[in-house]
Amino acid sequence: MMHNRYDVAEALETAGWTGRRRGRLGLLRHPGGASWGAATASLDSVLQCPGGETVVFADFIPAPVVIAACLAASGQLDPGKDRVELEERSAWLGCLERAGVDNWQGYDVAREYRG
């Protein structure tokens, strides 16, 4: 599981955030007005939302949570779209189960992957 802030910086840059970095960290901004910064890989980081709200992420907050908050603040995370995709995947899984996917030879292996 990702916990360091390098992972956050890399994910935000992949999502189009830009800015000044010192080494692998620094201050990144989204064109929509959100900004995120961290001084070190293992310490707190800060998200400044376009509306002026400030969110401080303690060092123990997992990187995926920080990434999701930053993407949501910048308008890059669409809960409606994500919900629709999950509902479609759930419906497809239901169809597979009704069709007997549990009789598939690799079914047990797939369940082991899932944990």
Strand partners, 20: 27
pTM, 2 dp: 0.64
Statement: residue 1 has pLDDT above 50: no
Reported confidence tier of residue 43, pLDDT bands at 50, 70, 90: confident
Strand partners, 63: none
Statement: residue 92 has pLDDT above 90: no
> Rounded to whole angstroms, how far apart are CA atoms 42 and 56?
13
* Residue at 80: amino acid letter: G
- Give percent above pLDDT 90 in the chain: 36
25 neighbors 39 (Cβ within 8 angstroms) = yes
Statement: residue 107 has pLDDT above 80: no
Statement: residue 47 has pLDDT above 80: yes
Q: Is 59 exposed, middle or buried (0-12, 13-18, 19+ CB in 10 A)?
A: middle
pLDDT reported for residue 103: 80
Instruction: Pick the more confident residue, 78 or 61.
Output: 61
Statement: residue 61 has pLDDT above 80: yes
Reported confidence tier of residue 42, pLDDT bands at 50, 70, 90: low
Backbone angles phi, psi at 51, to 5 degrees: -80, 0
